[in-house]
Each structure stands twice: as structure tokens, then as C-alpha cells.
Amino acid sequence: MGLELVELLMDVEDRFGVKFPEDDRLNSCRTYGELIDYFVAAVSEQDATISGLESTVDEYVRGLLISEYSVSPEHVVRDAELFGPNLSLG
């Protein structure tokens, strides 16, 4: 797992007040969509009270990728490879 992905994970933990489990589910994520699904599942396991969780997490992560990691908005799509040329989170 690359440093950028670890930092992104920590940002999501801080924003939603959760702690992601140390397991292999994160390492199996290959696309942006799989990463969002992982974040949503992990957050909902710990706090099911957030309404519109998927769109909330997606908006937050999308914003981070664009503002903090200089990813072009058109590259932040569900099938974008995390470690490919467009997102480069490796």
C-alpha cells in the first residue's frame, strides 16, 4: 500500500471518526469504486447513523483527491485504477 493511500485512509478515518480494521480488504481494492465501497462498508459498520453515506464518502474522497493529490476531476471515476496513471495512489 502506497503512502498516498495510507494518508487518504487516515484522512477518511479522521473525517468520519472511525478506525479502519487492519485486514486485507483494503489491499484488494484496485479501482476508485472498490475503494469507496470499502470505505462505505467500514464506516457503516462503525456508524450506521450517517445518512447518504455512499455519496458523502464519495464526495469527501473525490474532494481530497482533487485538492490534495492534484488529480483531475475527470479521472475520479469508479473504474479508475488506484495505481494507474490517472490516480497514482501507489
Within-domain flag for 58: yes
How far is residue 49's CA from residue 67's CA, in Å, rounded to a whole number?
27
Helix axes 53-67, 32-46, angle to 10 degrees: 130
pLDDT, one tens digit per residue, over 1-60 is 678 888 888 999 999 888 888 777 888 899 999 999 999 988 888 776 777 888 999 999
How far is residue 44's CA from residue 86's CA, in Å, rounded to a whole number?
28
How far is residue 59's CA from residue 37's CA, in Å, rounded to a whole number?
13
Within-domain flag for 82: no
Within-domain flag for 83: no
Place of cell 485504477: 81
pLDDT of residue 1: 62
How many domains does the structure of the chain reveal? 1
Task: Please give the model's pTM, rounded to 2 decimal places.
Answer: 0.86
Within-domain flag for 84: no
Within-domain flag for 90: no
- Domain of 48 in residue numbering reads as 3-75
Within-domain flag for 89: no
Within-domain flag for 86: no
Note the Cα 6 to chain centre separation in Å: 10
Within-domain flag for 88: no
pLDDT of residue 72: 93
